[in-house]
Structure 1
Amino acid sequence: MPKNNKLKIFNDPIYGFITIPNSLIFDLIQHKYFQRLRRISQMGLSYLVYPGAHHTRFHHALGSMHLMQKAINVLRFKGVTIAEDEENGLLTAILLHDIGHGPFSHAMEHSIVKAISHEEISLHFMEELNKEFNGSLTLAISIFKGEYPRKFMCQLISSQLDMDRADYLKRDSFYTGVAEGNVNSERLITMLNVKDDKLVVEEKGIYSVEKFLVARRFMYWQVYLHKTGLVAEQLVTRVLKRAKELIELGVNLNCSSALSYFLINGINSKSFDNDTLAIFAKLDDYDIVSALKEWQYHDDFVLGNLCDMIINRDLLRIKFKNKPIKNSDLKLHRDSLINKYGVSHQEADYFVFNGKVRNQGYQNTQQPINILLKSGKIKDILKAADQLNLKALSKPITKYYICYPKKKM
């Protein structure tokens, strides 16, 4: 029988043709854990704002791997030694870096399971795959955890200028149609180098880095923290919270077996074992959407209305303010809801609430982006750049919001 050709090519709308470099990467892509990413939205519920934002974590993972291939080739061309096993480790780590995302990506990161991040779940997946692939992922796991002695490799996976960000900014900009977020990832990668075992950007690439940071700030305010997407995500987390409350009261809710498991059991980082991982691997966006469609007709006032709002995109009103929300404002809207529908104070809190969002374009205290000057010296991008607005990006900006029902529910 002829052997399966594992050196396939993907046609990506962003980069064109993406090649699978070896059989290990092919087998990982083919694995059911990775194929699940086809059913996990890259941008959560942002498609309620930007109709084109229906791309998935599968797209993003392949794109990140493609950029990593380019980065490895660039660094090798510049004399940086990267062994074949290190190359496989880098490609595997970036391919699987988001494999632990739950339904709608970040939207419900701490709702399905408590006190455990998607990075930790990704590590669980990688360790399980490592058993299945006879230790082939050991080096990749070391790089992913930031423990590998060659630090620039860890920076390629996770830093303020990693292959993850280089792909998602360009990809999310493309699918949302927000041109301000478009970055020249290829140009940035071409300017990469390694100095003293740290990832640096050559001086002639400084303006590309500035554009990258400014674009990231725009994307956060205009897309990732868009008020409509924000309130939609809040509603989904509240749906799951209410569902758990009702189940604890003995109410039967129809949903998939995978979703039911996490609603019934309070899973956290300590109880997240291999059996839980196997069930988590069956959970995706479709479980949530199916439940929302079913529960919108439930006779519970809170659950039915919350689900109806999301399914029919008739969301709560949300307003941003520069100062913390006053308790009097919350009370005004809460009392109005209670008087109109006769709901309890606790039930009203599902529809009237406040919160805050924070945006910091650049963090100069955590793994700064270093510029390699022609003189051989290394400078933080803030000191090397001549644009004043770049310094402003390092200052965190916090905005406060209040959510409450429109006149008619």
Structure 2
Amino acid sequence: MSTKNKLKIFNDPIYGFITIPNSLIFDLIQHKYFQRLRRISQMGLSYLVYPGAHHTRFHHALGSMHLMQKAVNVLRFKGVALSEDEEIGLLIAILLHDIGHGPFSHAMEHSIVNDISHEEISLRFMEELNTEFNGSLTLAISIFKGEYARKFMCQLISSQLDMDRADYLKRDSFYTGVAEGNINSERLITMLNVVDDALVIEEKGIYSVEKFLVARRFMYWQVYLHKTGLVAEQLLTRVLKRAKELVDKGVNLHCSTALSYFLESETSHQSFTKETLSVFAKLDDYDIVSAMKDWQYHHDFVLSNLCQMIINRDLLKIKLKNKPIDNLALETHCNALVNKHQITKHEADYFVFKGKITNQAYQIKKQKINILLKSGKIKDITKVSDQLNLKALSKPVTKYYICYPKKKL
């Protein structure tokens, strides 16, 4: 029998002490699948813009669980019946909601793993753990999938005001130093209630919701969609795509066994087997960084230059515009690169490309943030807020970008 102390306390820089509520959650945190999150960056390559942004998915998962504990206590205090099993289900679901993230959080989803999202991989991990823990995660899985009968519990995991967002906005703001993103998540949680099996925010919490939505908009423009972070993530995706392309042609690339597995195989929703999951569990940021440190000296022009750009933070130039990028501008940069280095257009496309980004702080057509008025009526936040720009925040804003090499490439 294990003699480990299963009532450990984590000292979190955001919330202070976070307690582990029971031995099952302790054992899940101790599991190698969850410990892997210590080696998965929460914000990808954003540390190239904000040097402090080195926190991990491990930090975020524990913080989200802590906020869920607070939410459960608040709702119980307000007379919402929650059984002990339901509480544990909620805590496990939020603890494991990001367990399926790959290296640097999103890079793999757009390069060497196709047609399967990190949410789907998280579910695969949870199902595997459920077998290992004799069905203890069955309720948590039902909540995570949004299938549980009590709708508000599913909203606590995934909605426009869930415990995931309540943690990552505050946490990412802290580690980046972007003060505009600092929300009062505890205040928001204190204002939670349940009406007709749906989450609502009490009227006195309106200003906290307004601050939350404005902060979300700021964080997307200043951090998550920052142009330098954007081009860095695009380069990382292209590194993995080029590596896979070379391996498919029979080129031998030195890298970890886990990374090699995904470069050599076609991984999609259909082919993501139990064996694939086992290999995926061994893959983290260190595999990618280690590979790039080797590949920067590879004889392939594309792979070596892409890796050098990330390793040395000598990135492509990126320009943001309010209108779609003209194809002529793209062709001009592409032709210049082809002529200068005698490479193919296909190879030049790795360095010259365009795209678009969209920021929508509040998706009014999705699950709404409803306010419980003192009169008992329930209205959408945009209908009761006296902030004129809240309706504007519900409209998507799209910007277009073009990336191309600096002169010295």
TM above 0.5, yes or no, is: yes
- Matched residue SS, 1:105: coil
Q: Deviations over 1:101-130 (max 9, x none)?
A: 000002332323101000000000000000
1:22-79 Cα deviation digits (max 9, x unpaired) = 0010000000000000000000000000000000000000000000000000000000
Q: Which residue of 2 aligns with 1:172?
A: 172
Whether 1:198 and 2:221 are equivalent positions in the alignment is no
Alignment correspondent of 2:381? 381
Q: How does 1:382-401 map to 2 (within 5 A)?
A: 382-401=382-401
Any idea what SS the aligned residue of 1:11 has? strand
CA distance in 1, matches of 2:132, 2:111: 29
Report the AA paired with residue 339 of structure 1. Answer: N
User: Which stretches of structure 1, 4 residues or longer, exceed 4 Å deviation after superposition?
Assistant: none
SS of match in other structure, 2:355: strand
Aligned to 2:135: 135
SS at match of 1:114: coil
- The alpha-carbon deviation at position 83 of structure 1 amounts to 0.1
Q: Distance in 1 between matches of 2:66 and 2:2?
A: 28
Distance 2:164 2:109 in 1: 18
1: CA distance, partners of 2:286 / 2:93 = 27
Counterpart residue identity of residue 139, structure 1: L
The aligned counterpart of 2:96 is 96
Letter in 2 for 1:84: E
Q: Secondary structure of the equivalent of 1:355?
A: strand
TM-score by length of 2: 0.99
1:95 shift after superposition? 0.1
1:314-344 CA distances to partner (integer Å, 9 max, x unpaired)?
A: 0000000001100100011001111111111
Alpha-carbon distance between aligned partners in 1 of 2:205 and 2:240, rounded to the nearest angstrom? 46
Deviation, structure 1 residue 245: 1.1
**Offset from partner CA, 1:171-216 (integer Å, 9 cap, x none):** 0000000000000000000000000000000000000000000000
Corresponding residue for 1:155?
Answer: 155
SS at match of 1:328: helix
Amino acid at match of 2:98: D
Aligned counterpart, 1:341: 341
Q: Could you tell me how far apart the structure 2 residues matched to 1:95 and 1:354 are?
A: 36
Q: Which residue of 2 aligns with 1:312?
A: 312
Question: What's the secondary structure of 1:401's corresponding residue?
Answer: strand
| Corresponding residue for residue 211 of structure 1 | 211
Unaligned stretches of 5+ in structure 1? none
Structure-1 separation of matches of 2:252 and 2:3: 50
> Offset of 1:375 from its aligned partner?
0.6
Corresponding residue number in structure 1 for 2:37: 37
The answer to whether the Cα contact below 8 Å between 1:352 and 1:402 also exists between their aligned partners in 2 is yes
Task: Return the alpha-carbon distance in structure 1 between the equivalents of residues 84 and 14 of structure 2.
Answer: 27
2:200, 2:86 → 1: CA distance? 19
2:112 & 2:206 partners in 1: Cα distance?
41
| Paired residues of 2:67 and 2:167 also in contact (CA < 8 A) | yes
Report SS of the residue matched to 1:403.
strand
Inter-partner Cα distance in structure 2 for 1:177 and 1:343: 42
Aligned residues of 1:358 and 1:397 also touching (Cα < 8 A): yes
Residue number in structure 2 paired with 1:23: 23
Task: Provide the residue aligned with 1:78 in structure 2.
Answer: 78
Q: Give the gaps of 5 or more residues in structure 2.
A: none
SS in 2 for 1:109: helix
Residue deviations 1:262-307, cap 9 Å, x none? 0010100000011100000000000000000000000110000000
State the 1:384 CA deviation. Answer: 1.3
Aligned match of 1:126: 126
Alignment partner of 1:82: what SS? coil
Aligned partner of 1:39: which letter?
Answer: R
> What residue is the counterpart of 2:257 in the other structure?
257
In the alignment, the residues of structure 2 paired with residue 2 and residue 115 of structure 1 have an alpha-carbon distance, to the nearest angstrom, of 41
CA contact (8 A) 1:173 1:182 kept: yes
- AA paired with 2:224? Y
Using the TM superposition, give the Cα deviation of residue 386 of structure 1 relative to its aligned residue in structure 2, in angstroms. 1.1
> Counterpart in 1 of 2:106?
106
* Residue identity opposite 1:370 in structure 2: N
CA contact (8 A) 2:112 2:244 kept: no
Corresponding residue number in structure 1 for 2:360: 360
2:288 corresponding residue in structure 1: 288
Give the whole-Å Cα distance in 2 for the aligned partners of 1:47 and 1:283: 20
Instruction: Name the CA distance, whole Å, in 2 between partners of 1:279 and 1:111.
Output: 17
For 1:283, give the aligned amino acid: L
In structure 2, distance between residues paired with 1:39 and 1:230:
21
2:65 corresponds in structure 1 to 65
How big is the shift at 1:2? 7.8
Q: Which residue of 2 aligns with 1:330?
A: 330
Match in the other structure for 1:223: 223
Deviations 1:357-397 (A, max 9, x none): 00001011111000000011100001111111001000000
Between the aligned residues of both structures, percent identity stands at 83
Q: Distance in 1 between matches of 2:257 and 2:192?
A: 47
Contact 2:112-2:241 within 8 A present in 1 as well:
no
In 2, Cα distance between the equivalents of 1:223 and 1:132?
Answer: 38
